[in-house]
Structure 1
């Protein structure tokens, strides 16, 4: 992802002055970025969670995933992992506990933590902002029909990876994040969503869609018909194969 993690002061002196957390990063990526920004040994920020005293919702059970809000954070004087993580969670609470999100979650028969979880899936699955509210509707439609979500993003989260290649073996892994086998939402968010994904989660576009696939950039296809979805997936696979052949030829 071509996003600057660290910035320096105006005079070009070495050393970061702020930390940029992009939308959709997982907690593990945030921890690594904080370690790098503060020049700490790898794993230091993760270990600091126990003493960070983060103001998380009870449903989070101490896990800040979903609440490390994507934004730019000044390092300030004497920065520590605890200070940075607390600033991220405070920003998330500022965003998520206000009237618009709380009312939107209630309108959709959710609590705020569930809305953040849906937003995290939308952030991971949608090809761009314009598809987010439709992707959110697919999540709601599947939940309402008692269907498993079957989102590859949750499999990727369980396996600690990011890929478009999900195999049949992957969908059989024993994990609470396996949304092919487990019903309902995953137990926690799977990333840290931004404003647009959160808006989509509480204001999904009306529609009957149950499936979607991004065949190629700018071409995401939503449908309620499984046979049509299978055709779209076949085209997606053809596009990927053709691209791979072109890469080999160059």
Structure 2
């Protein structure tokens, strides 16, 4: 999850001085991390959203998912959930509202909120900068062709879990985040993306890919040919038979 940075005070007791939010954490995970770091009852940070007065885009409708920017946040004196949430959203706004981001979004026929949503999916689906750029291109190619995104990460978000195994039953759930059943982007980001994922969403790698599957760690294969993709999936299944794991089959 998130990591509190500790220091020892004059009485020899350790207390947190900063909170590290890694890339790709969901808002619920950030809320829990703040509660734990500030030694507050579970659910306190989420309840504080109403009085935090966060400066979110209108499309967010008060939901800070995607705008709790991953970074290290000093706690300072008398830290509160409202202060930390405000710092995270303010940081996101500084990163997301500059001219390069606006231009990149416009270049791809998006608004910034949609770009953040794509970046959140890319963050969840790809492990390296190179794969992030390609995964972003798959998203754009599918949107342009009127294909459903079919991203397992959106199913995981709907089911409040993190796994690489998605069943046929999972893909039939009734949710706005079911990108197997619904066209277009999900209604909100599905996590809080970092700068690499945002860069990929604004500058997707040129290519005609429509499918990808992670055969094994470090071996993600992108293709525009469905038959080739099926062969890649078959190889993944052979690998899975000899070791536990799941699939990222798009």
Query: What TM-score does the superposition give when structure 2 sets the normalisation length?
Result: 0.95
Confirm or deny: 8 A CA contact 1:116 1:198 kept in the other structure.
Answer: yes
Runs of 4+ residues over 6 Å off in structure 1: none
Secondary structure of 1:95's counterpart equals helix
Shift of 1:60: 0.1
Pairwise mapping of residues 221-236 of structure 1 onto structure 2 (< 5 A)?
Answer: 221-236=221-236
Pairwise mapping of residues 1-250 of structure 1 onto structure 2 (< 5 A)?
Answer: 5-9=3-7, 13-244=13-244
Structure 1, unaligned runs of 5 or more = 246-250
Shift of 1:10: 5.8
Secondary structure of 1:220's counterpart equals strand
Confirm or deny: 8 A CA contact 1:127 1:217 kept in the other structure.
Answer: no
Alpha-carbon distance in 1 for matches of 2:60, 2:200? 21
Q: Give per-residue Cα distances to partners, 1:102-137, cap 9 Å, x unaligned.
A: 100000000000000000000000132221000000
Secondary structure of 2:220's counterpart equals strand
Alpha-carbon distance in 1 for matches of 2:43, 2:238? 41
Alpha-carbon distance in 2 for matches of 1:217, 1:233? 14
Alpha-carbon distance in 2 for matches of 1:237, 1:19? 39
Alpha-carbon distance in 1 for matches of 2:244, 2:178? 28
Shift of 1:15: 1.2
Q: Give per-residue Cα distances to partners, 1:20-67, cap 9 Å, x unaligned.
A: 000000000000000001000000000110111000000000000000
Secondary structure of 1:16's counterpart equals strand
Secondary structure of 1:22's counterpart equals coil
Q: Give per-residue Cα distances to partners, 1:116-168, cap 9 Å, x unaligned.
A: 00000000001322210000000000000000000000000000000011000
Confirm or deny: 8 A CA contact 1:127 1:220 kept in the other structure.
Answer: no
Partner residue, 2:248: none
Give the root-mean-square deviation of aligned CA atoms: 1.3
Query: What TM-score does the superposition give when structure 1 sets the normalisation length?
Result: 0.95
Alpha-carbon distance in 2 for matches of 1:111, 1:57? 10
Secondary structure of 1:186's counterpart equals coil
